[in-house]
Structure 1
Amino acid sequence: MLKFILCDSSESDAVFIRRVIKLIAEKKEYDISFELISYLPSEVQEYISENEGLFVYILETSFGSSEIDGVELAKFIREKDRDSYILFCSKDKEYILKVMTALIRPSGFVIKRYNEGGGLEKLENMQLYIGDIYRDYLNVTQKENVLHINVGPDIYKIEYDQIMYVESFQKKIYIWTKNQRIGYYDKLSSLEEKLGEGFFRCHRSYIVNLNNISKVNFPDMVIEMKNKAKIPISRAQKNGLREILKKYESNIFEREFV
């Protein structure tokens, strides 16, 4: 379960934010809970000093008469907790630069929009940020051999053994499985870290699933996958590929490594 801590100086805003996040979670079937809803940074500081875990912190940037603002609270959180998610939620756009230069690695900045009566009525991109955070949370916490990726508002669950290879093209990542291609925006290096063992980056634009290789032709610098796709090998990765394939050759006799 992904746990949320919400700190906002306005009680009505906090109620609205909680309701929006709960609706997103219900619609997308995210498993979440709210551990703390507070209007004072000091209460959040006290809570995280006494409790450990992976949290999503939803923070306002300004707390009126409080001695610290949301950025200072986020710095305190980062000193105690390097892995949790911090999402700022504020009407003050001028805080964006301060947030981005404060070395606190926020997950995003949600802009509050108010109606003419002064009531909060919209949280820009909240669904997108919550989706990104929940996808990353699943990849971090679930030890099953499954990759979770975010495509728009949807999260795809892809079993590792179904992945043939991954291709980077024009700032998008394309995951080729046994029966489909899924494209989304990300960096190949970021996905490489998530995939880990069993996958090898054979070229600056390609990652292959070592368990789904059919043939490797080193003279022609080409890998043939089980789905007949041909993937190039860069000269820089040739020796590294030879070494890692030695771990697989003894167990997979039908493969041909030339």
Structure 2
Amino acid sequence: MLPIYICEDDEKIRAAQREYLEKLILIEGYDMEIVLCSGHPQEVLQAVKESARRGIYFLDIELKGEPMDGFGLGQEIRKLDSRGFLVYVTAFQDLAFETFRYHLEALDYIVKGNPDKLKAGIRHCLQVITERMRKEKGDEREFFSVKVMDVVKHIPVDEIVFFETAGRTHRIELHAQSDRIDFIGSMQELEEKLGERFLRVHRAYLVNTDQIAELDLKNREILMKNGEKCMFSRGMKGVLLDKM
């Protein structure tokens, strides 16, 4: 389910947006939910950090009395949710080009002066998002999302080679084809989340079986396709041979 965030400094407009979005979600049966409706950008950022999910963001540009405007908020959201859908809702039509200057890749820019046009713009955005999500589910690569400090990273699952314990309590190191990421986590939780493609071959290693190049049965080592090696326990020999 896609979370929806609204950041609008005008209380009446904010309430109207929420009401119309709730009606659309109910009538059309969209797999979406409004999780936050606020006039404060910091509240939105905190909620996005805690969620770590791809979201939909309806953002006002002129946020009076706040430390950042809608463009600044969009930039911060992009650091946390690089694949989210940004929609700018504002009274100033001539500011539309600014979304390109800030490299925000906004989905749409809606002028809110006319209630009917505002509703039409919101309806169009949800239709576009729904269609994109439908197409992506047909051929989209599966992503693993991990929170590192205040940034959420999305790594294609097929590019993950293995996970290993990093020698410190609750620290995990993800080895991908072109990256290494150290984060707080649990091997058991990863094993349950990632499914049968990933195999706990040793208490210190969780490997992507699609990334295995060869087995060294004598030394109980797995050579991965990226050239790195992982140990495997004696009891995993038969399981690994079945996977090859």
Contact persistence 1:60–1:70 (CA under 8 A): yes
2:124 counterpart residue number: 128
Letter aligned with residue 52 of structure 2: E
Partner of 2:106: 106
Cα 1:101–1:125 shift into 2, 3 Å:
same
Amino acid of the structure 2 residue aligned with 1:130? L
After superposition, residues 242-257 of structure 1 pair within 5 angstroms as none
- Decide whether aligned partners of structure 1 residues 71 and 28 sit closer, same or farther in structure 2, where only a CA change above 3 A counts: same
Distance in 1 (CA, whole Å) between partners of 2:52 and 2:138 is: 19
Counterpart residue number, 2:240: none
CA–CA distance in structure 2, aligned partners of residues 102 and 125 of structure 1? 22
**What is the CA distance between 1:51 and its match in structure 2?**
2.2
Q: Which residue of 2 aligns with 1:95?
A: 95
Pair 1:15 & 2:15 matched: yes
Q: Give the alignment's Cα RMSD to 1 decimal.
A: 2.0
Aligned residue for 2:68? 68
Alignment of 1:1-258 (within 5 A): 1-114=1-114, 122-123=117-118, 124-141=120-137
User: Aligned partners of 1:143 and 1:35: how far apart in 2?
Assistant: 28
Does the CA contact (< 8 Å) of 2:56 and 2:84 recur in 1?
yes
1:28 Cα deviation from its structure 2 partner: 2.3
Q: What TM-score do you get using the length of structure 2 for normalisation?
A: 0.53
Q: Percent identity?
A: 19
Q: CA deviation at 1:142?
A: 6.2
Instruction: Flag structure 2 segments of 5+ consecutive residues without an equivalent.
Output: 141-244
Unaligned 5+ runs, structure 1: 115-119, 145-258
> Residue 95 of structure 1: CA displacement?
1.6
Report runs of 4+ in structure 1 exceeding 3 Å deviation. Answer: 141-144
| TM-score, length-scaled by structure 1 | 0.50
Match of 1:202 in 2: none
Separation of aligned partners in 2, 1:142 and 1:34: 25
Distance 2:124 2:117 in 1: 14
Find the aligned partners of 2:62 and 2:6 in 1 and give their Cα distance: 14
| Alignment: residue pair count | 139
